[in-house]
Every structure is written in structure tokens, then in C-alpha cells.
Amino acid sequence: MASLRDTVKDYQEELRDGIAWVAFWKTGRSWNAEHFSLEMGDILYPEDRSRMEEIKQADPAAVVVNGYYSGYLGEDMSLDELTAGVRRHYENGYSNIGEFIEAHDNRLPPELIEEARAAAHAAGLPFSEKAYRDGEEPDPYIFDGSMSMEDYELMHRMIENERSERMEETILSGYLSNLGKYTEGRPAGEWVSFPTTAEHLKEAFDRIGIDFKNYGEWYFTEFQSSVPGLTTHLNEFSHPDELNYLSELLKMQFDDDREKFVAAMEYGDHTRDLQDIINLAQNLDCYWLYPSIQCEEDYGHYLIEELDELELPEEAKKYFMYEEYGRDAAINDGGSFTEQGYIYNNRNTFTEWYDGCEVPEEYRVTPQPPVQEKEQADLDTSVAIQTTATEQPPVLPIILSSEKPADKMKEITDRLEQGILGLYESDRYADYLRTMSKIP
């Protein structure tokens, strides 16, 4: 059994420094204590509120005191004086735990919550107490109890519908033209939407006459996109595989990432070419975007009032130069003000997922030309030369009829001369010359 003096002794430092709040309560004849902290706005953390409710149920007369805010307590008091102060609060009903919970609980009245829930359901929307009370969006992947199970399932259905609509969205369109026909004065082309498939792009190639025989070159004459600023980074020779790769990446983005991508393109530190843009779409964690900050003065107010970079008296804030402060801070950040808000590079590692050479196979859609007739002819020629070289005529021995050495030498010379003449006049040599003439 713990006495009040012994219990206060364990928490005397907390009572003197006035930072934490300490609850005291009795179970039977034994005293107990536990310290708590408040979050910003002097609000109880949900888990602390639940714990205090348990203490209140065990002892409705429990008190919650603080050495700075509560009377009869102070930093210079002795242990006996602190003990007397806590006893006075408890016996006189000062600082009751029930009143403390009510004063530091940001939960809305049940009738107000139900009214908001009914309005959300009437509009076909899920309802979250967390969003309504704190202005914070619930985490769609964590069921934290701020929503009913029905609302949680409705939220996921809406997320899935949004994702499906995004999957069907045309991210980018390009007007694909036949270069050969254009140079002949007979333009041929059509709009191609990305992302696309190999089958659809092959059909477009066929319709504009790109057959890789008479016409094998193409280019883009114009681009349109639902992503602001994207087309300024594309050119007439942008490759369909890269365009499809980028479009597939953008299709998977949610609105927040899309806004950050647009702002990052305007920021411009990774926009040299289409390879950069593809990598940029996969490195958005390298940037911080503040949508509510549109100018230097906004940034100055944010730094002073939200982040408390400088502790200014309220009177001094009236004369503080927020615009100049925000301008200097943006210069130090290397940041930029865009239509989507203030953005800067947070120096996270920028990973080059795409090397500019090999588009991942699942994004390749460009038709491949068939084996060219000339290449096939060259192959046939090579085979013919190899065959000619390997197929040698049979070797016939020279049988001499002369007996004198001088006559034998003359006979050998005559036979060789006849053989050489016969070779030049043969069909085999004529075939050889025809074969060699085909080699460029």
C-alpha cells in the first residue's frame, strides 16, 4: 500500500518543472499516480484520453495537476509541501479528472457528428470523424476507427473508381505522320493516343502507309496532353515506346503526385529530354510541394507562423517583412513558385530508373520492320560465295608421254596453259563473276 507522500515523492520532479500533468487517484487505501502530456492545442492524445477514462472509472475523485498551472503547487516547494498541495486538490475536488478530460477533449458532440454524417451520406460520400474534427484525411490503408466499416468500404470503392477512370484517361496524344509521303507532297497521318498497345499502333502505321518497304520513317507534327507543360518537352522525333512508357507512369499517379510532377517540370532541374522526364516521374519523392504557398510573402508567413522559425511578439509581427524573409528563404532553398505552389528539391537521391536505351519490354509498342529484301539478298550472296569456295573440282593427275626432260617440261607448261584457259571459259567461273558482282 503506497502513501500519498511516497507517491508524490516518485513524481516530485514532474510537479516542480511544470511540464507534464500528473494524475493522482486512490484504489482502496493505496495512492497511485501517472503523468501525461498534451499535444499541440492543449489536446489530449487519444490513448491518454482513454487511459484517463479508466482512471476516472476507478476513482471519480481523481485529480490531474500541474506544478505551473495548478494552485498550491510550485517549483520551490519541498516534498511535504507538494504532498499537502495534492491532498488539498483531492479533498476539495479541485482539478477533477472528469473536468480535465472535458476541457482537453476535441471530440465533437455526438449530435453534431451524426448531423455531419447524414449530410455526407446524402451526398454519396464516406464520413470520417478525423477529417471532420481535425481536417486530416484518413489513411485509406489503415482502419483507425474514425470511420464506420460501411464508410471505410465506400471510400475504397470510390478510390477504385477513381483509379479506373484514371486508367482510361488519355494522358497524351500525338499526330503521327509518314515522313516519306510528306516529302512527296502527299501528307498522311493520324492522331495516336498514349498509352496505347502494339496492336493499335500497328494499325495506325498501316493506315498512314508505313510498311517498311516503300515508307519506313515517321515523325510527330503535334502533341496534346491533359498534363500541363508536358508537350513543351516533346519533339517531332520522340519515340513512341518512350511516349508510351511515360504515359503509363503518369496514368498511375494520383492527383497529388500529378500536381507535384507538373510543378517539378516547371522547376526544371531534370527536364533535358524525354529520358529525364521519364525518370522525373519516378523520383517525385525528391521534391517538396506546398500548394497553399503561391508567393514569397506566403512563404514568409508560413515559416514564421507555422514553423515558428523566429519567435516574434505579436506586436512585432505587424511590422515584420514577410515578403523579404520568404524571398531569402526561397533563395536559400533553391525553390520556385509555380501555379501548383512552392516547390524545391529536398536533396533525396535521384535514381535513374531509365537509361535512355532500353525501354522496358512491357511498354514497347512500336512495330518492328520485317527482314529487308536487300539484307536477304546479301545473305544469299554470302552463302553462295561460301558454297563456291568449298565446292572444289576433282583433281586429275597429269600423265606425261615425253621421255626427255626438256620435252616433259614443255608438256607440263602446255597442260597448265590449257587448264587456265579452260577455267576462264568455264560456267563455274561465269557463276563466280555473277556472284561477286552482287556484293556492294
Domain CATH code at residue 204: 3.10.20.480
Residues 150 and 118 in one domain: yes
* Runs of H (alpha helix) within 31-76: 46-58
Residues 329 and 261 in one domain: yes
88 burial (CB, 10 Å; 0-12 / 13-18 / 19+) is middle
**pLDDT tens sequence across 91-129:** 999 999 999 999 998 777 778 888 888 888 898 888 887
Cis peptide before 195 (omega within 30 of 0): yes
Mean pLDDT of 315-324: 91
The answer to whether residue 224 sits within a structural domain is yes
The answer to whether residue 265 sits within a structural domain is yes
pLDDT-derived band of residue 62, with 50, 70 and 90 as boundaries? very high
Average pLDDT over all residues of the chain? 86
Beta strands, E only, 184-281: 189-194, 218-225
Query: Considering 80, 104, 128, which residue would you say is the last residue of a domain?
Result: 104
Q: Are strands 172-178 and 43-44 parallel, antiparallel or unpaired?
A: unpaired
The answer to whether residue 72 sits within a structural domain is yes
User: What's the total number of domains in the chain?
Assistant: 4
Residues 68 and 136 in one domain: no
Residues 9 and 100 in one domain: yes
Residues 92 and 10 in one domain: yes
Q: Give the C-alpha separation, 438 to 412, whole Å.
A: 37
- Residue 347: Cβ within 10 Å count: 8
- Residue 436: Cβ within 10 Å count: 12
pLDDT at residue 48 greater than cutoff 70: yes
Judged by DSSP in three states, 343 sits in strand
- Measured CA to CA in angstroms, residue 237 lies from 175, 240, 263, 334 at distances of 12, 9, 25, 33
Query: What domain range includes position 244?
Result: 171-252
The answer to whether residue 422 sits within a structural domain is no
pLDDT-derived band of residue 53, with 50, 70 and 90 as boundaries? very high
The answer to whether residue 71 sits within a structural domain is yes
% pLDDT > 90, the chain:
58
**pLDDT tens sequence across 259-285:** 999 999 999 999 999 999 999 999 999
Query: Considering 191, 225, 252, which residue would you say is the last residue of a domain?
Result: 252
Q: What is the pLDDT of residue 41?
A: 76
Q: In this structure, are residues 327 and 386 in contact, taking their beta carbons and an 8 Å threshold? A: no
Residues 135 and 96 in one domain: no
The answer to whether residue 98 sits within a structural domain is yes
pLDDT at residue 29 greater than cutoff 70: yes
pLDDT at residue 353 greater than cutoff 90: yes
> Is 90 or 307 the better-scoring residue by pLDDT?
90
The answer to whether residue 308 sits within a structural domain is yes
> Is 437 or 389 the better-scoring residue by pLDDT?
437
Q: Give the C-alpha separation, 71 to 55, whole Å.
A: 22
Residues 13 and 96 in one domain: yes
Residue 359: which residues within 8 A CB-CB, separation 6 or more? Answer: 239, 241, 242, 244, 245
CATH of the domain at 268: 1.10.10.1190
Residues 189 and 242 in one domain: yes
Query: Considering 166, 196, 211, which residue would you say is the last residue of a domain?
Result: 166
pTM confidence score: 0.53
